């Protein structure tokens, strides 16, 4: 919906956010055009990548329009006051001009900063004026010392990221005069998503020989499972990705099978243990052979009248000591981390004689994989149930959470839709994989050793050498993106888990889902480069997907 600036009649104002996409092509997102304010454009509140320090706005007016420009920042410890290269008050230029907004982090603390840019416009000195609010958020990180390549990184990241991208939010309480409710959202956004490996991936071709190794080349049932497989053309000659200052060099970690005893596992969580009386169990949300997830109520420690909803993970009577130990250990994967797209454990209950319980904050739409499958079911009757843009937005959130983990040098090792949760505002959070083996047994396989692993989500080096890094998490992110686009299908469903490594080595990957745009598939495909160094970094994925998200918005 957009509102006409009725009183502006002959005034033509254009305020547009100027983009330069990586391909070098320019694009613009219009906020105000021919007196029409695009509330749709203003409603974006997307993330400014942490490397991006400048936003460029283009504007001009046909007749005299005065402006006042001001900023609010919610955290001055993390970010300096934004700087502009025009005066804070004056006349909107009559010729097309550009102004620049600088958003610099102080590097003192880690924090997500909300930035509000407020532009007040007055026409012909009348008392009527219009307030436009542009909202941004940016992750600011504490400066890491080391990184001897930082000089290089800074230069490269500037060329890649500098000229910015999108998005502010609602400007409510805006117009007194807002007259007509017109609905022509005027956008002329032509955004080319210059996805990192687009070129090399374009040459993906269908290879028929694979039908020999997959028993059911079921093109006859395309709607249920994806059964064609693609072979990526010589993954090794793909263009290397320019490294960004995203995070320090990858830490490679071997899977640690060191056995922990139940007593040790309990000792580790003692400090977050609470009394059983504070928890009330309600419905069972998910149930496996030995594990269960409940919707629970957690009573506040000090004020018994205050309650919080929670997920409660617990085990049934028949659970073995090993299974209980695993639940406790795996629940601690994200412990102590704070990010809006992560859902770490908050408490445990390990009283004698009770089955141990793990408590996490509640997200009312529950498990993401189950949610996607639900969407798939309703999609038949209601194609509008969930839009591609919503799905991309979920992917961005997952990439943001993972980017944070990568910076903290935390390797998730089991990123998948089943290990994410969602709420009714479509906020997505990544969580640990405790009980996932039990709740989603089809997604884990045992390859001869005693370990049950998420084979279809694993990078080749993890499968073969048991090596895990942020780059192998990127691989799993690619598969998760594929799960989003297929509304929760199982990847590589026709491939024998024992064949997976050979299959990947030969260059085969999951096929492009039906209705998945090429640009998006290219993003997935570059996550599956054989060489971990060639895979994009999470920060780059956030950037790419954010641009793609904005481009999708432009066609709505
Ligand atoms: C814009 O107008 C609003 C409402 O009068 C006022 O509160 C705000 O301070 C103004 N902003 C700037 C940047 O002048
Ligand atoms: C502000 O900076 C931008 C980009 O750096 C430049 O194009 C523009 O001319 C500058 N504007 C003024 C008024 O200096
Ligand atoms: C980075 O850029 C600065 C000037 O902008 C230059 O002096 C420096 O040599 C560059 N560093 C590298 C590693 O290219
Ligand atoms: C402000 O807008 C109102 C509503 O459109 C209009 O009636 C009024 O004359 C305007 N005031 C001025 C000073 O232009």
Q: What is the pLDDT of residues 90-116, one digit of tens each?
A: 988 888 888 888 988 888 888 888 889
Q: Which atom of ligand 2 lies at the shortest distance from residue 99's CA?
A: 1
Give yes or no for residue 504 having a pLDDT over 50.
yes
- C-alpha–C-alpha distance, residues 124 and 139, integer Å: 39
CA distances, 91 to each of 96, 122, 556 (Å): 13, 9, 33
Report the alpha-carbon distance of residue 403 to residue 456 in Å, rounded: 22
Ligand 3 binding pocket includes 216 (Cβ within 6 Å) = no
Does residue 525 contact residue 201 with C-beta atoms inside 8 Å? yes
Per-residue pLDDT of 375-427, as tens digits, reads: 888 776 666 678 899 999 999 999 999 999 999 999 999 999 999 999 999 99
| Signed CA dihedral, 237, 242, 246, 252: sign only | positive
Provide the pLDDT for residue 409: 93
Question: Left if phi > 0, otherwise alpha if psi is -120 to 50, otherwise beta: which for 167?
Answer: left
Residue 487 has pLDDT above 50, yes or no: yes
Specify the residue with its C-alpha closest to ligand 1, atom 13: 70
Q: Does ligand 3 lie within 6 Å of residue 151's CB atom? A: yes
Ligand 3 atom 12: residue of nearest CA: 152
Place of tokens 């996550």: 527
* Predicted pLDDT at 97: 84
Confirm if 8 and 33 have CB atoms less than 8 A apart: no
Distance 152 CA to ligand 3 centre (A): 7
Question: In this model, does residue 188 exceed pLDDT 50?
Answer: no
Q: Which residues contact 25 (CB under 8 A, 6 or more apart)?
A: 190, 192, 194
Q: In this structure, which residue's CA is closest to atom 1 in ligand 1?
A: 120
**Residues whose CB falls within 8 Å of the CB of residue 151, separated by 6 or more in sequence, listed in order:** none
pLDDT at 332: 94
| Distance from the alpha carbon of residue 153 to the mean position of ligand 2, in angstroms | 25
CA 4–ligand 4 middle distance (angstroms): 14
Q: Look up residue 241 and give its DSSP letter.
A: P
Q: How confident is the model at residue 250 (pLDDT cuts 50, 70, 90)?
A: low
Residue 299 CB–ligand 2 contact under 6 Å: no
Q: Return d(Cα 402, Cα 421) in angstroms, integer.
A: 14
pLDDT of residue 359: 97
| 2-144 homologous superfamily | Wnt, WIF domain (2.60.40.2170)
Q: What is the spatial distance between Cα 84 and Cα 102, in angstroms, rounded to a whole number? A: 6
| Nearest protein CA to atom 1 of ligand 3, as residue | 155
In the DSSP assignment, the letter for residue 490 is P
Mean pLDDT confidence for 417-440: 96
Query: Does the C-beta of 260 come closer than 6 Å to ligand 2?
Result: no
Of 22, 23, 33, the C-alpha closest to 554 is 33
Measured in Å, residue 131 CA sits from the centre of ligand 4 at: 15
Residue 373 or 224, more confident: 373
Given the structure tokens 């009394």, which residue do they identify?
275
Q: What is the mean pLDDT of residues 182-200?
A: 32
- pLDDT > 70: percent of the chain: 69
Q: Is the pLDDT of residue 523 over 80?
A: yes
Q: Residues 32, 132: contact at Cβ < 8 Å? A: yes
Query: What does each C-alpha distance from 149 to 146, 153, 157, 244, 249 come to in angstroms?
Result: 9, 6, 12, 10, 10
Q: Which of 203, 363, 225, 201 is nearest to 296 (CA)?
A: 363
The CATH architecture to which 250-554 belongs is Orthogonal Bundle (1.10)
CA of 120 to the centre of ligand 1 (A): 6
Rounded distance, CA 260 to CA 449, Å?
18
Q: Is 208 a catalytic residue?
A: no
The two tokens of residue 339 are 């990010």
Quick check: 162 pLDDT over 50? no
Determine the straight-line distance between the first and last CA of the chain, rounded to whole angstroms: 12
| Encoded tokens for 387 | 């839009």
User: Separation of 129 CA from ligand 4 center, angstroms?
Assistant: 10
- Crossing angle between the packed helical segments 388-407 and 470-485, to the nearest 10 degrees: 170
Whether the predicted pLDDT of 479 surpasses 80: yes
Confidence of residue 554 (pLDDT cuts 50, 70, 90): confident
Q: What is the pLDDT of residues 1-17, one digit of tens each?
A: 222 333 333 344 556 65
- Distance of CA 397 from the midpoint of ligand 2 (Å): 32
pLDDT digits (tens, 9 = 90+) for 255-287: 554 567 888 999 999 999 999 999 999 999 999
- CB neighbour list of residue 169: distance below 8 Å, 6 or more residues apart: 42, 43, 44, 45, 133, 134, 135
pLDDT at residue 303 in the model: 87
- Between the CA of 57 and the centroid of ligand 3 the distance, in Å, is 27
pLDDT at 48 over 80: no
Q: pLDDT per residue over 374-386, tens digit each?
A: 888 877 666 667 8
Which is more confident, 362 or 126?
Answer: 362
pLDDT of residue 540: 93
Q: In this structure, are strands 181-182 and 2-3 parallel, antiparallel, or unpaired?
A: antiparallel
Between 321 and 254, the more confident residue is 321
Q: Report which bound ligand comes closest to the CA of 176.
A: 4
Evaluate: CB of 241 within 6 angstroms of ligand 1.
no
Q: Output 313 or 132, whichever has higher pLDDT.
A: 313
Predicted confidence (pLDDT) at residue 148 exceeds the cutoff of 70:
no
Residue from 17, 20, 26 nearest 135 by CA = 17
Distance 7 CA to ligand 4 centre (A): 7
Residue 261's pLDDT is what?
A: 87
Sheet holding 357-361, edge to edge: 279-287, 291-299, 307-315, 357-361, 347-349
- What is the rounded distance in angstroms from the CA atom of residue 499 to the CA atom of residue 212? 13
User: For ligand 4, which residues put their CB under 6 angstroms from it?
Assistant: 6-7, 126-128, 177
CA distance 106 to 72: 16
List phi, psi (to 5°) of 487.
Answer: 55, 50
* Res 111: pLDDT: 82
Beta pairing class for 357-361 and 65-73: unpaired
Closest C-alpha residue for ligand 4 atom 10: 128
Q: What is the pLDDT of residue 66?
A: 85
Task: Provide the β-strand partners of residue 205.
Answer: 231
The CB of 68 under 6 Å from ligand 1? The reply is yes
| pLDDT in the model for residue 127 | 67
CA distances from 138 to 7, 44, 330, 391 (A): 35, 13, 30, 21
96 lines ligand 3 (CB under 6 A): no
Per DSSP, helices labelled H in 217-363 are: 262-268, 321-331
DSSP class of residue 44? Answer: -
- List, in sequence order, every beta strand (DSSP E) within 381-493: 420-422, 428-431, 445-446, 452-453, 467-468
The answer to whether the CB of 84 is under 6 A from ligand 1 is no
Atom of ligand 1 nearest to the CA of 69: 13
Residue with the smallest CA separation from ligand 2 atom 5 is 100
Residues with Cβ within 8 Å of residue 267, at least 6 apart in sequence: none
> Is the CB of residue 99 less than 8 Å from the CB of residue 57?
yes
State if residue 152 touches ligand 3 by the CB under 6 angstroms criterion: yes
Sorted by sequence, the CB contacts under 8 Å of residue 149 that are 6+ apart come out as: 243
Which mutation among 94, 100, 163 tests ligand 2's pocket best, with the greatest number of atoms within 8 A of CB?
Answer: 100
Kindly tell me the sign of the dihedral angle through the C-alpha atoms of 507, 540, 547, 57: negative
Q: Measured from the CB, is residue 273 less than 6 Å from ligand 2? A: no
500 three-class SS: helix
The active-site residue, picked from 80, 300, 414, 518, is: 414
Q: What is the mean pLDDT of the chain?
A: 76
| CB of 142 sitting under 6 A from ligand 2 | no
How many angstroms does the Cα of residue 92 sit away from the middle of ligand 4?
21
Confidence of residue 451 (pLDDT cuts 50, 70, 90): confident
Question: Is the shortest distance between the CB of 86 and ligand 2 below 6 Å?
Answer: yes
| Distance set, CA 18 to CA 164, 167, 544 (Å) | 8, 11, 16
Q: How far apart are CA 519 and CA 514, in angstroms?
A: 13
Q: Find out whether the beta carbon of 99 lies less than 6 Å from any atom of ligand 2.
A: yes
Mutation pick for ligand 3 pocket among 148, 150, 151, 243 (CB with most ligand atoms within 8 Å): 151
- Please tell me the predicted confidence (pLDDT) of residue 318: 85
The reported pLDDT for the residue numbered 252 is: 65
């Amino acid at each position: 919906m957009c509102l006409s600036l009725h009183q502006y009649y002959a005034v033509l104002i254009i305020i547009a956010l100027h983009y330069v996409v990586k391909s070098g092509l320019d694009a613009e997102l219009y906020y105000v055009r021919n007196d029409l304010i695009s509330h749709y454009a203003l409603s974006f509140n997307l993330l400014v990548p942490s490397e991006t320090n400048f936003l460029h706005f283009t504007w001009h007016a046909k007749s005299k329009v005065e402006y006042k420009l001001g900023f609010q920042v919610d955290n001055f410890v993390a970010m300096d006051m934004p700087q502009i290269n025009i005066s804070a008050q004056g006349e909107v230029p009559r010729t097309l001009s550009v102004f620049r907004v600088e958003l610099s982090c102080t590097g003192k603390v880690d924090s997500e900063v909300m930035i509000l840019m407020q532009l007040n416009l007055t026409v012909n000195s009348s008392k009527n004026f219009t307030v436009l609010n542009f909202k941004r958020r940016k992750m600011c990180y504490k400066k890491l010392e080391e990184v001897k390549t930082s000089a290089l990184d800074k230069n490269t990241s500037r060329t890649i990221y500098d000229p910015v991208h999108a998005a502010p939010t609602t400007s409510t309480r805006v117009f007194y005069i807002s007259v007509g409710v017109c609905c022509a959202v005027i956008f002329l956004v032509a955004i080319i998503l210059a996805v990192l490996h687009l070129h090399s991936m374009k040459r993906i071709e269908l290879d028929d020989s694979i039908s020999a190794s997959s028993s059911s080349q079921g093109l006859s049932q395309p709607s249920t499972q994806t059964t064609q497989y693609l072979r990526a053309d010589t993954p090794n000659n793909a263009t290397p990705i320019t490294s960004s200052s995203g995070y320090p060099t990858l830490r490679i970690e071997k899977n640690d099978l060191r056995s922990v005893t139940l007593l040790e596992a309990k000792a580790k969580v003692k400090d977050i243990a609470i009394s059983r009386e504070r928890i009330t169990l309600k419905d069972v949300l998910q149930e496996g052979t030995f594990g269960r997830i409940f919707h629970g109520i957690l009573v506040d420690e000090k004020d018994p009248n205050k309650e919080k909803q929670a997920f409660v993970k617990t085990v049934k009577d028949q659970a073995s000591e090993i299974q209980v130990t695993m639940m406790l250990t795996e629940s601690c994967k994200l412990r102590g981390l704070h990010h809006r797209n992560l859902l770490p454990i908050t408490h445990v209950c390990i009283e004698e004689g009770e089955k141990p319980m793990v408590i996490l904050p509640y997200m009312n739409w529950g498990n993401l994989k189950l949610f996607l499958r639900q969407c798939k079911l309703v999609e038949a009757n209601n194609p509008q149930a969930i839009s591609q843009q919503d799905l991309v937005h979920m992917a961005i959130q997952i990439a943001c959470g993972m980017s944070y983990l990568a910076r903290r040098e935390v390797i998730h090792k089991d990123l998948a839709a089943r290990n994410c949760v969602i709420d009714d505002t479509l906020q997505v959070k990544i969580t640990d994989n405790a009980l996932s083996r039990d709740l989603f047994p089809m997604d884990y396989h045992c390859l001869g050793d005693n370990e049950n692993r998420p084979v279809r989500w694993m990078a080749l080096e993890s499968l073969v050498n048991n090596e895990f890094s942020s780059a192998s998490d990127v691989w799993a992110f690619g598969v998760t993106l594929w799960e989003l686009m297929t509304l929760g299908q199982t990847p590589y469903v026709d491939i024998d888990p024992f064949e997976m490594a050979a299959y990947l080595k030969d260059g085969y990957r999951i096929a492009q889902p039906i209705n998945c745009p090429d640009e998006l598939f290219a993003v997935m495909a570059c996550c599956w480069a054989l060489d971990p160094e060639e895979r994009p970094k999470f920060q780059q994925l956030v950037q790419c997907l954010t641009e793609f998200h904005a481009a999708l918005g432009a066609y709505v």
